[in-house]
Amino acid sequence: MRSFIANSRNALGTVNTFFGAVMFLLATLSAAADAAETKRVLMLYSFGPESSWNQYAKNIRAELEQQSRWPLEISDYSIVTARSSDEDSPFVEYLRALHAKWPFDLVVCLGAPAVVFVQRHRQELLANTPMVFTAFEQRRIQYSTLTANDTVVALAHSFPAIFDDILRVLPDTKTVAVVNGNSPNENFWVEQIRKDASRFADRLTFKWYNELSFEDILKDAAALPPHSAIFWHLMNVDAAGRTHEQDSRELKRLYAVADAPIFSHTDTSFGDGIVGGPMHSVSELSRLAASVAIRILGGEKAGGIKTPASGFATPKFDWREMQRWGISESSLMPGSEIYFHELTVWEQYRAAILMIAAVMVLQAALIFWLLHDRAQRRRSELKRMS
């Protein structure tokens, strides 16, 4: 009987080991097949490849490639719909034909114009394909029209926080010039900024550049009154109808002529003339959007992923601009970070200076001791001679 029980246990153990090995093999094969499956991602962003949204696209692409456990095939297309919502059909048909030939596993929409375009054509444009809407402010999307295949990774602006910060670091500021274009998306933001700016009516006078060509903006910015500041928001299409895809280049042109500090709401151009303050972090939002995209590629339903809108990151400032405009560190918000700090001679060579000083002190002490010893010997010799 005992022998029978022992044999049964051994047989059961063998069966369990066999099934365990089979399950492990199946899991390994499944993981290998999953890892070998190429995922196709379509990235739609507003305007051309040189626009500020391209910075988000580059960061999201890098994060996707880093986080993905599958091979990725990422295609980029820009939607130039900033001037008008008319004549969208040819591009919609093109995307549908492209998807029919090479189906996409995921679409990532970057920037408000692209998001508005996709929502306008969601039912006819890859209706069942999961989408991530990102790199835009939460007020620019119609949440009521989101489908079960959509999720949002948005930003949350706070213009009052920016104007408060300007007054904190430069309390004598009297005028703020707002740089903004004249496209449908930019006109929406002019109204939003005006609403928030109204609460500062007793402290600040605002100049609005949305009805000027960029060349006229440069002329006016070069002649701003004392105690002025510039808030760079968007410059995609100016009042003359000219498109400005390389807004970083335009910002540099403004910086070259403006005799006033420049602030912004995003760090896309931080280091190129922006003073700093509370701003959105491109890298942080890109990392978050990519992680959501990976979850969807892994099988999660897009509509089931809820991500709160991201506010401003930790305030950061360009030390060079602080020196230029006389901004003291004591005026910054608690916890602010300072970048591009240029070290003084003392800060750069403090260790070497201290070492040289120590050697000189040691040498002086040695010389003094030798002179003192010599003097004592001479006094001793004089005493013996006398």
How many beta carbons lie within 10 A of that of residue 158, not counting itself? 14
Sequence-separated contacts (24+) of 260-263 with Cβ below 8 Å = 260/177, 260/221, 260/224, 260/228, 260/229, 260/230, 261/170, 261/229, 261/230, 261/321, 261/324, 261/325, 261/327, 262/229, 262/230, 262/231, 262/232, 263/162, 263/165, 263/166, 263/229, 263/230, 263/231, 263/232
More confident residue, 356 or 108: 108
Categorize the per-residue pLDDT at 33 as very low, low, confident or very high, splitting at 50, 70 and 90: very low
- Global pTM reads 0.79
182 and 237 in contact (C-beta within 8 Å)? yes
Best CA proximity match to 280, nearest among 295, 272, 288: 288
- Is pLDDT of 337 > 50? yes
Mean of the per-residue pLDDT values for the chain? 86
Three-state DSSP state, 131: strand
- Strands (DSSP E) contained in 138-285 are 150-155, 175-179, 205-208, 228-232, 262-264, 276-277
13 confidence band (pLDDT: 50, 70, 90): low
From residue 93, how far is each of 78, 88, 89, 118 by CA, in Å? 15, 9, 6, 13
Share of residues in the chain with pLDDT > 70 (%) = 84
Instruction: Return the higher-pLDDT residue of 92 and 225.
Output: 225
Give 74-129 pLDDT, tens digit per residue. Answer: 998 888 644 455 557 788 888 888 888 889 999 999 999 899 999 999 988 889 99
> Per mean pLDDT, which of 15-29, 54-68, 346-360 is the most reliable?
54-68
Residue 162 has pLDDT above 50, yes or no: yes
Per CATH, the number for 159-279+312-339 is: 3.40.50.2300
- Which whole number is the average pLDDT over 327-337? 97
- Residue, of 118 and 23, whose pLDDT is higher: 118
Give the integer Cα–Cα distance in Å for 362 and 365: 5
What's the average model confidence in pLDDT over 6-27? Answer: 48
pLDDT at 15: 43
- Which CATH topology does 37-155 take? Rossmann fold (3.40.50)
The DSSP bridge pattern shows strands 106-110 and 39-46 to be parallel
Is the confidence at residue 2, as pLDDT, over 80?
no
pLDDT at 7: 53
Of the two residues 152 and 2, the one the predictor is more confident about is 152
Q: What integer is the mean pLDDT of 37-59?
A: 83
Do 261 and 323 contact (CB within 8 A), yes or no? no
- Among 19-23, 59-63, 177-181, 368-372, the least confident range: 19-23
Segment 181-205, tens digit of pLDDT: 999 999 999 999 999 999 999 999 9
